[in-house]
Structure formats: structure tokens, C-alpha cells
Chains A and B, each alone.
Chain A
Amino acid sequence: MSNDYNFAYLDEQTKRMIRRGLLKSIAIPGYQVPFASREMPMPYGWGTGGVQVTSACLVPEDKIKVIDQGADDTTNAVSIRQFFEKTAKVETTTHTEKASLIQTRHRIPEHDLDENQILVYQVPIPEPLRFLEPRESETRKMHALTEYGLMHVKLYEDIAHHGHIATSYAYPVKVEGRYVMDPSPIPKFDNPKMSMCPALQLFGAGREQRLYAIPPYCEVISLDFEDHPFTRLKANAECELCSANNSYLDEVIIDDEGNRMFVCSDTHYCEARQADGHRGKRNRLDQEGYDATHI
């Protein structure tokens, strides 16, 4: 198919249109820029927004990494990586620090990003106010007038009913003191990584036709109350493969009895630590004959 389609699939006109939208979104951090999202050869809701942003940003020298849930080898990540291998013939990598562009769904890599990198998020519902106010015409007005009281009403209700803010992912943030923004469904553990990040962070929502951005070194604040401050949340455990105790963990069911183990959700981070000689509980057992290498 690579011969039949333009570099990185989209035609240049469309890429220019998307780049204009991206420039606007960078100029107004956190503001949702409408764009004429194209139909892509993968379903809406599966990363079409991210794919269009990546396509508009890619140059032949790029080295691209695609993750889904933090992992390079989940099916949708593989599928999107193959798409760009075919249509753009760019080099791919699983190494966070070696990638010039990382497309992600639901996670921010554990390894710090740098100024030469772009992080592209796939966004299902770009509107942080959507579940409080279903009308687009109304939510756009609320953004324009900074009418964000309703967002805090939601957090207030959480505390009143649960004693805590009960939002654990897609946790709303305020960018540079102005726009309230949906960070895409990343766990709130990742929220602090967005703030003052040296890399350019771009967000694409294909079905909802929106682009937005966090330019490098922007202040990103997770919404909270003074007396109920934002907290990160992760499993109270360490990775059983690499013993990391500061990374976001997946809980994997390992047998029919329902026993579980905790492993890093960021597969590259975990592998790199293991290569550096870090060993978790499960790896130490290996030396006694337990095989967990298939995980």
C-alpha cells in the first residue's frame, strides 16, 4: 500500500490543515481547536486523532514509538506502528529515549522526555466538561467564559459522597492558568508528568474533531481543593520483574486461582531496568526454576 498513498498516508493538503490547527493549539495551550478530521483506515475511537496528528508531524528522519496502556506490544499499538512502518517507512523503536515521536494511548512513559521529542496522545472525549454538560454549544461557552465552577461541583460531590475525589483517570487539569483540559484517559498517576515537560505534547481526537496541545514547559495543574489536594495513585507494591517502586503497575492475573502479580505497565522501562540488573521478586524466583519469562 505504501506505493499508493502519500508519505504517512494523509495527503499534503490535509497535513497542512492539521498543522495549522496544531499551531493554533500550541499558541493557546489547552484550548480545543476544531479541525476537519478525516476518515482514517482504522475505526473512530481507536486512535484516529492521534494517527492524524502523528501523520501531520512525521518527517522521514523520525523514529517512532507507539504504546497502548504503556506497552509496545499490545495489539492496537502494534497495528498503529505497522501502519506507519508501511505508509511512512520510518524507523520504529521501543526505546523511549531514542524515539523522536511517541504516540500513546492511556499512559505517559516513565522515562523523562526531552526537548527533541513529541508526545502524541490519542483522545476519545476531549471535552472535560462533557459528562457534566452534554451540549457542545454550551461547553464551548463555558470555556470561553472560564465558567469552570461545575467542574469543581463534580469534585465536591465526590468528596461529599466518598470522602475523596473519586476520579482516577482522565483527571481534569488546568493549563497555564486558563483552560481546563482533559488529559486523555491516562491514570492520574501520570498527571504531574505533564507539567513543565520539556517535550511538546499534542492531543488528537478524531471522532470529536478536536486538537489541543501543551507546549514545552507549561504549567499543568490537576484540579483539587486546598483542603483535599490532588494525590497520585498507584498500587501499593513494587514491580515483581524489575523491583521498581515508583512506576505505574499493572495487576496481572497469573493462574486459575486468581493469584496476581504486579508488573510495570511501561514495558520498555521494565525491560531496561532488568537489563541493568534490577531484579524483582518473580525474577529472583526464576533462578529457582520458576518460568515467568512469557509475561
Chain B
Amino acid sequence: MQPIFEATGISKSYGHILGCSNINLSLYSGEVMGIVGESGSGKSTLLNCLSAQIMPDQGEVIFRSPSRGEVDILKLSEAEQRYLARTEWAYVHQNPRDGLRMSVSAGGNVGERLMNIGNRHYGNIRTKAEDWMSRVELDTSRIDHRPSTFSGGMQQRLQIARNLVTEPRLIFMDEPTGGLDVSVQARLLDLLRSLVQELSLSVIIVTHDLAVIRMLADRMVVMKNGNVVEAGLADQVLDDPQHPYTQLLVSSILQV
């Protein structure tokens, strides 16, 4: 089997400041890949390069698209990138405000991607929005309310529903549990885990929180100063870290 997503030799620097250097990474269908590191380690730069939101200085990103076959994301025109981004990809932002339309109702938010791909039946769109709201454990009676009246955790679940409604092949997540209370985080993680299993989603998730990795990721890479210092199966890396930096991370965070 070939990976659905394969990045090779990704490098990006800002003047003299290194973003990330010569990163290789692949993802198989139905797999969750975690990228961990502290802030400034280059993980967000990497995620932005992988999702074609910024252009790396070097490298290629191959995506095996069900509709178009093998494509180098970075060589696509902006039009094609945007088309992929709203059909076969999804992007869950850390701050739900960046991923939602705050002045549009919850139902409209979930329905937008459906309408984007040509769905023109109001009733069906609404039914699907309700279905997805309940799948992310949101009260469907709030379908006509604006996200601004939702709590942070509810907004984040709404953002996830909005992204998953078109059943994308590949999902990028940037600290999806960041900025939430601990109890809310736990519930959201639980939800994400069951969605990942149920829908066999392929996910690349960036986080500084090893608990998120433990719960969700099959494989992981650890980044420091723009480089990958360790990579492997998530459980293996967490239980038996080899690199001193990973050891430090694991010992400092997982002492629960």
C-alpha cells in the first residue's frame, strides 16, 4: 500500500531564522500522525507547508487524491489548491473563530461545504447539519444559533462538524484542544478519538500536548529547532524515548 500523503525534503526559513529543515514524513490512509514540539520548534511552519498555506523553500508534498490521482500539492495552481482544500482536505484551527463564520448560524456553518460542492436542497442540507451536530454532541435545537453564543468547547466541536461534513480524506489539525479547559479538552479528545476510529480518518495533528498524542496518534515525530529529532510509533516513542529531548518532554509532561 502507498501512503496517501508523502512529504520529502521540506525546508523553510525566514531570513536567518530557520522554520524547519529537510523534513520527511508520510501518512497512510486511516492513520493519525502527531507532530510534537514546544513553541518555536517549527511544527506550525511544517503544518503550514504541508497544507500549502505557505510555500516551503524546498521539498515536495505528494497527495494521492481519490479524484485526481497523484499530485504534488506545491506545484498545483492556487485554484487547484483551494479546490482540494474545500473538498478532499479539511483544516481544524486552534482558534475556532479562525475556522468558523461567526455571523452565520451553526447550521449554515456546517452546511457551507455541502453548498460549496453543489448541494442545493435546503431540507437535505439541514438534516445533514443536524446529523453532524449530534455526532459532535451538540444540541440540535441550537442549529439556528450563531457560534458566538456557543462556549469555546462547543465552537471547537462545531468547527470539527463543519470540516467533516463532506467526509474529507485528509485532515490537518493545529492544536485543536489548545485554549480549552482541561475537562472540556478531555471530552473533545474522546470525541475526536471515536470519530477517527469510526470514520477511519487520516489526520496530521500538531500539538505540544503529549496527552493528545497518546490518545489519538498512531505515529509521531518530535521536532526541535526545525528538525525532527525522533520519529516512530506513538506508544513506542512515548514509552521508550530515545532522544534526550524526547526524554525530557516525556518526563516533564507525562508525570501524572
Contact = CB atoms under 8 A, between A and B. Distances in A.
Interface of A: 141, 144-145, 147-150, 152-153, 156-157, 159-161, 224-228
Contacts of B116: 147-149
B108 A147 contact: no
Contact of A156 (B83, B115, B117): B115
Given A149-B112, A156-B111, 7 more contacts: A141-B78, A141-B82, A145-B83, A149-B86, A149-B115, A153-B115, A225-B121
B70 interface: no
Nearest to B146: A157
A141 B113 CA distance: 17
A256 B116 CA distance: 51
A225 B120 contact: yes
Given A147-B82, A152-B115, A160 B108 contact: yes
Contacts of A148: 116
B113 A159 contact: no
B64 interface: no
A160 B86 contact: no
A157 B108 contact: yes
B79 A153 contact: no
B245 to A, nearest CB: 41
Interface size class for chain B? 20 to 34
Contacts of B113: 149
Interface in B46-96: 78-79, 82-83, 86
A160 B107 contact: yes
Given A147-B116, A149-B116, A226-B120, A156 B82 contact: no
A161 to B, nearest CB: 7
Contacts of B105: 157, 160-161
Interface of B, secondary structure class, is helix
B111 A153 contact: yes
B123 interface: yes
B14 interface: no
B79, B82, B117, B122 pick with most chain A CB within 10 angstroms: B122
B144 interface: yes
Nearest to A160: B144
A139 to B, nearest CB: 14
A145, A147, A156, A225 pick with most chain B CB within 10 angstroms: A156
A147 B117 CA distance: 9
A145 B125 CA distance: 22
A145, A147, A159, A160 pick with most chain B CB within 10 angstroms: A160
Contacts of B123: 227
B112 A153 contact: yes
B214 interface: no
B111 to A, nearest CB: 6
B193 interface: no
Contacts of A144: 79
A145 to B, nearest CB: 5
B112, B115, B117 pick with most chain A CB within 10 angstroms: B115
20 contacts: A141-B78, A144-B79, A145-B79, A145-B83, A148-B116, A149-B86, A149-B116, A150-B112, A152-B115, A152-B120, A153-B111, A157-B104, A157-B105, A157-B108, A159-B122, A160-B107, A224-B120, A225-B120, A225-B121, A226-B122
